[in-house]
C-alpha cells in the first residue's frame, strides 16, 4: 500500500458555515473537492499524528464513497485509529457521544442535516472537537484558510474496506475499528432516563409513533424504542435509512412530517408522536391531537427534569436562543437558576455547557439538548418526554396545560418568508433598525414597548462579543416580536419573524396560536413593511 501525494488546486468556496461545509452532491463529486477539504481539516489540527478520530454520517447519498476516501486519507496523514460507525452511519448526537466517551481528538461527521438527499440533493461535512461539539470559528477559519492555499493532499492507494461488520482492521499503519453506531449512545440514554418506567408505560398500552423520516435515527429507534423499551412493531415509521431519505425532506415539523401529523390528529390517535431529522439532532413532539412547540418543550423538560435519573439533582442553568420563546425563563426563575439568552445557532451553547453554567438548552427550531453531549439531540428529547409521561402517568396535553396554568402560556409562532430578494430583505432590516430607538415607551397595538434593539451577546465564558443577531421589540406585557435573516438559507434571503405573546389567565390559554397572535402579526407588518417590501402577501412557512 502506497501513500500518494496528489497535486491539486484550491477551490474558493470551502468556507464552513456553523454546520460545516454544505453543498450540492455534484459539487462534492468534483475531482479533489472532498479531498481538498479533508486535507485542510487534517492540516489544521494539532496532534493528529497517532490520534484517534471518530467518523460517520447520516447515510445520505455519497456517504459511503466519502467515508472510504476519508479513511484512506486519514491513514496517509498519520492518524492512529478511526472509530467508524457500521455501514458509515452515526447520528450527529451519537458521534458527539462517541467522541466524548472514547476521549478522541475529534470526529468527522458527514451530514447536511434535514436538507434533501440523493444525487440532486445536498451533502455536508463537519469537524467536531474533543468536547464533542462543532469546531469553534477559529478552527473552521483555519480550515478555510488552508483550503485556499492547498497544493497537494495525501491518500493511500488501496481498495475499499468492508464496513458492514464490527471489529478491527488495519489500513496501512492505521487501525480502523468498525463500531455499532447505536451501542454507546443507547448506553448513555439508559444512564439518563428511567428505562424500566418507560417499559412499564409501554407494556401498559401507551401507544407511540416515532417517525425516522427514512434517515439516520431508524436504527437508533429500533434498538432503543423497540428492543430495549419494548415498543410494539408498528410504532416506527420510515425506520429504514435510505440514501435519498425516500425523496422526502427530513425536517421534523408540522409541514414536512405530515404523515405523522395526520396519524396524531386522526381517529384513534396514539398517545405520543415524535420525529427526528436527517442526522438525528432535531425533534418534534406531539400528543394526541396536540402539538408541543419546541419552546414549550424546553420549558417543560426543565420544569420536570427532576423526574428523570439523569437530571434528578436539578439543573445548573437553562439556555435558549434569543428568538426562542421566553417560557423557559419563567421556569428558570421559579427554580432559582440562571437563564441564558444566546444568539441563534448551537455553537453558543457549547461554552455554557463546557463551563458548567447550563444543563439544558434549546432553540425554537426543533432543537433541544443538554450537557450529555455537545450537539442537540432528537431521540434524547423523545426519551426525556417518555420518562416524564411515565413518571406522571397523565396524558401529554394534560401535562402541558397544567404547566401553562402554573407558569402562563407563551403563544408562539415563527413566520418565514423564504427566497426573498436579498436587497429587499436587507432594506427591510436596515429601515426597521433605524426606527428602533424611537419605539421604547410607545404603545403599539395595545402593547407598550419596553425595549427595542439589535441583539448582541457577550459570551460569559470567553468574553467574545457577537453583534447584529436579530432585531428585538420587547413589550412590557411579555409579548415580543423578533426579526432575523436566516444564516442557513441557500436561495436569496429568508426573513424570519418570531412572534410571542404571554397569557397568564388559564381561561384564555385555549386559543389557536395564529389567532392569539393576530394582533402582533399585523403589528409586525406595520412596523417592518413586510408585504410592501417583500411583495409577499403571506409567509412561505408557518411553524
Instruction: Indicate which single residue of 20, 56, 116, 345 sits in contact with ligand G1P (rule: CB under 6 A).
Output: 345
Find the part of the chain contacting Zn ion (CB under 5 A) among 67-75, 136-144, 271-279, 504-512: 271-279
Find the part of the chain contacting ligand G1P (CB under 6 A) among 245-253, 343-351, 395-403, 473-481: 343-351
Annotated catalytic sites, by residue? 113
Q: Is residue 276 a contact point for ligand G1P (CB under 6 A)? A: no
Find the part of the chain contacting ligand G1P (CB under 6 A) among 134-142, 342-350, 469-477, 499-507: 342-350
Nearer to ligand G1P, 42 or 348 (CB): 348
Beta strands in 47-110 (DSSP E): 52-57, 81-89, 106-110
Q: How far is CA 297 from CA 304, 410, 419, in A?
A: 11, 12, 29
String of contacts with Zn ion for each residue 103-142, x by CB under 5 A: ----------x-----------------------------
Element spanning 196, H or E: helix 195-203
Q: Is residue 277 a contact point for Zn ion (CB under 5 A)? A: yes
What does the DSSP assignment read for 158-213?
Answer: -PPP--SS-EEEEETTEEEEEE-TTHHHHHHHHHHS-HHHHHHHHHTT--EEEE-T
Find the part of the chain contacting ligand G1P (CB under 6 A) among 234-242, 256-264, 341-349, 528-536: 341-349
What does the DSSP assignment read for 49-85?
Answer: TT-EEEEEE---TTHHHHHHHHHHHHHHTT--EEEEE
What backbone phi and psi angles, to 5 degrees, belong to 119? -55, -30
Instruction: Provide the minimum distance between the beta carbon of 158 and ligand G1P in the complex, in angstroms, as a whole number.
Output: 36
User: Is residue 84 within 8 Å of 64, Cβ to Cβ?
Assistant: no
Instruction: Provide the minimum distance between the beta carbon of 18 and ligand G1P in the complex, in angstroms, as a whole number.
Output: 6
String of contacts with ligand G1P for each residue 2-31, x by CB under 6 A: -----------------x------------
Nearer to ligand G1P, 52 or 321 (CB): 321
Q: Which of residues 319-338 bind ligand G1P (CB under 6 A)?
A: 321
19 binds, among ligand G1P, Zn ion, none (CB under 5 to 8 A by kind): ligand G1P
345 binds, among Zn ion, ligand G1P, none (CB under 5 to 8 A by kind): ligand G1P
User: Is residue 267 within 8 Å of 364, Cβ to Cβ?
Assistant: no
Q: Is residue 281 a contact point for Zn ion (CB under 5 A)? A: yes
What does the DSSP assignment read for 106-145?
Answer: EEEEE--TTS--STTSEEEEEEEETTSSBPPHHHHHHHHH
277 binds, among ligand G1P, Zn ion, none (CB under 5 to 8 A by kind): Zn ion
365 binds, among Zn ion, ligand G1P, none (CB under 5 to 8 A by kind): ligand G1P
Question: Grid coordinates standing for 315?
Answer: 439543573
Instruction: Provide the minimum distance between the beta carbon of 60 and Zn ion in the complex, in angstroms, as a whole number.
Output: 11
The residue nearest Zn ion at its CB is 113
Find the part of the chain contacting ligand G1P (CB under 6 A) among 23-31, 136-144, 340-348, 531-539: 340-348
Closest CA to 220 of 201, 241, 245, 199: 241
Other CB atoms closer than 10 Å to residue 18's CB: what's the count?
Answer: 15
User: Is residue 272 within 8 Å of 386, Cβ to Cβ?
Assistant: yes
CA–CA distance, 359 with 120 (Å, rounded to integer): 39
Instruction: Provide the minimum distance between the beta carbon of 114 and Zn ion in the complex, in angstroms, as a whole number.
Output: 5
Question: Grid coordinates standing for 461?
Answer: 465564558
String of contacts with ligand G1P for each residue 472-501, x by CB under 6 A: --------------xxxx------x-----
Nearer to Zn ion, 376 or 403 (CB): 376
Instruction: Provide the minimum distance between the beta carbon of 14 and ligand G1P in the complex, in angstroms, as a whole number.
Output: 19
Instruction: Indicate which single residue of 363, 371, 500, 503 sits in contact with ligand G1P (rule: CB under 6 A).
Output: 363
CA–CA distance, 501 with 15 (Å, rounded to integer): 38
CA–CA distance, 90 with 53 (Å, rounded to integer): 13
CA–CA distance, 481 with 518 (Å, rounded to integer): 12
Instruction: Provide the minimum distance between the beta carbon of 278 and Zn ion in the complex, in angstroms, as a whole number.
Output: 6
Q: Is residue 375 a contact point for Zn ion (CB under 5 A)? A: no
In three-state secondary structure terms, 292 is strand
CA–CA distance, 103 with 184 (Å, rounded to integer): 13
User: Is residue 282 within 8 Å of 378, Cβ to Cβ?
Assistant: yes
How far from the centroid of its chain's Cα atoms is residue 427's Cα? 29
What backbone phi and psi angles, to 5 degrees, belong to 321? -75, 155
Instruction: Provide the minimum distance between the beta carbon of 375 and Zn ion in the complex, in angstroms, as a whole number.
Output: 9
CA–CA distance, 351 with 361 (Å, rounded to integer): 12
Binding site for Zn ion (CB under 5 A): 113, 277, 279, 281
Q: In the complex, which residues of this chain contact ligand G1P (CB under 6 A)?
A: 19, 321, 344-346, 363, 365, 486-489, 496
Amino acid at each position: 500500500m502506497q501513500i500518494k501525494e496528489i497535486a491539486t488546486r484550491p477551490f474558493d468556496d470551502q468556507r464552513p458555515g456553523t454546520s460545516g461545509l454544505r453543498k450540492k452532491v455534484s459539487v462534492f463529486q468534483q475531482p479533489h473537492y472532498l479531498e481538498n477539504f479533508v486535507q485542510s481539516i487534517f492540516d489544521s489540527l494539532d496532534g493528529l499524528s497517532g490520534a484517534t478520530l471518530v467518523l460517520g454520517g447520516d447515510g445520505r447519498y455519497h456517504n459511503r464513497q466519502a467515508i472510504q476516501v476519508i479513511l484512506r486519507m486519514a491513514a496517509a496523514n498519520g492518524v492512529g485509529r478511526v472509530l467508524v460507525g457500521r455501514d458509515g452511519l452515526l447520528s450527529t448526537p451519537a458521534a458527539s457521544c462517541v467522541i466524548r466517551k472514547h476521549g478522541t481528538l475529534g470526529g468527522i461527521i458527514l451530514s447536511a442535516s434535514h436538507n434533501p438527499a440523493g444525487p440532486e440533493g445536498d451533502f455536508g461535512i463537519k469537524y467536531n472537537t474533543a468536547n464533542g461539539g462543532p469546531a469553534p470559528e477559529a478552527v473552521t477559519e483555519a480550515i478555510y484558510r488552508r483550503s485556499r492555499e492547498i497544493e497537494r493532499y495525501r491518500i493511500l492507494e488501496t481498495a475499499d474496506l468492508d464496513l458492514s461488520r464490527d471489529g478491527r482492521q488495519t489500513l496501512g499503519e492505521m487501525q480502523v475499528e468498525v463500531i455499532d453506531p447505536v451501542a454507546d449512545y443507547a448506553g448513555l440514554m439508559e444512564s439518563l432516563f428511567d428505562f424500566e418506567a418507560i417499559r412499564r408505560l409501554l407494556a401498559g398500552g401507551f401507544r407511540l409513533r416515532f417517525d425516522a423520516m427514512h434517515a439516520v435515527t431508524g436504527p437508533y429507534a429500533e434498538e432503543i424504542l423497540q428492543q430495549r423499551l419494548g415498543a410494539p412493531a408498528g410504532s416506527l415509521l420510515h425506520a429504514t435509512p435510505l440514501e435519498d431519505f425516500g425523496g422526502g425532506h427530513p425536517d421534523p415539523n408540522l409541514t414536512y412530517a405530515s404523515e405523522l401529523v395526520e396519524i396524531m390528529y386522526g381517529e384513534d390517535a396514539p398517545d405520543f408522536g415524535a420525529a427526528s431529522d436527517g442526522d438525528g439532532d432535531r425533534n418534534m413532539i406531539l400528543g394526541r391531537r396536540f402539538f408541543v412547540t419546541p419552546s414549550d418543550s424546553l420549558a417543560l423538560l426543565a420544569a420536570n427534569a427532576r423526574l428523570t435519573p439523569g437530571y434528578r439533582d436539578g439543573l445548573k442553568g437553562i439556555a435558549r436562543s434569543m428568538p426562542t420563546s421566553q417560557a423557559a425563563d419563567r421556569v428558570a426563575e421559579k427554580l432559582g437558576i440562571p437563564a441564558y439568552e444566546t444568539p441563534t445557532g448551537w455553537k453558543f451553547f457549547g461554552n455554557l455547557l463546557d463551563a458548567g453554567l447550563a444543563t439544558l438548552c434549546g432553540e425554537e427550531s426543533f432543537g433541544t439538548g443538554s450537557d450529555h453531549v455537545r450537539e442537540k439531540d432528537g431521540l434524547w428529547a423523545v426519551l426525556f418526554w417518555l420518562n416524564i409521561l411515565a413518571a406522571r402517568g397523565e396524558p401529554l396535553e394534560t401535562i402541558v396545560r397544567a404547566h401553562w396554568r402554573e407558569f402562563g402560556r407563551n403563544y408562539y409562532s415563527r413566520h418565514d418568508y423564504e427566497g426573498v430578494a436579498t436587497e429587499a430583505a436587507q432594506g427591510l432590516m436596515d429601515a426597521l433598525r433605524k426606527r428602533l430607538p424611537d419605539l421604547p415607551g410607545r404603545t403599539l397595538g395595545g402593547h407598550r414597548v419596553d425595549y427595542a434593539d439589535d441583539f448582541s451577546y457577550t459570551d460569559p465564558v470567553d468574553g467574545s462579543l457577537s453583534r447584529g443577531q436579530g432585531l428585538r421589540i420587547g413589550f412590557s406585557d411579555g409579548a415580543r416580536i423578533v426579526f432575523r435573516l436566516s444564516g442557513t438559507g441557500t436561495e436569496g434571503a429568508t426573513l424570519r419573524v418570531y412572534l410571542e405573546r404571554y397569557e397568564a389567565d388559564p381561561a384564555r390559554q385555549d386559543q389557536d396560536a395564529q389567532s392569539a397572535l393576530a394582533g402582533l402579526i399585523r403589528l409586525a407588518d406595520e412596523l417592518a413593511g413586510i408585504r410592501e417590501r417583500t411583495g409577499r402577501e403571506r409567509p412561505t412557512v408557518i411553524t
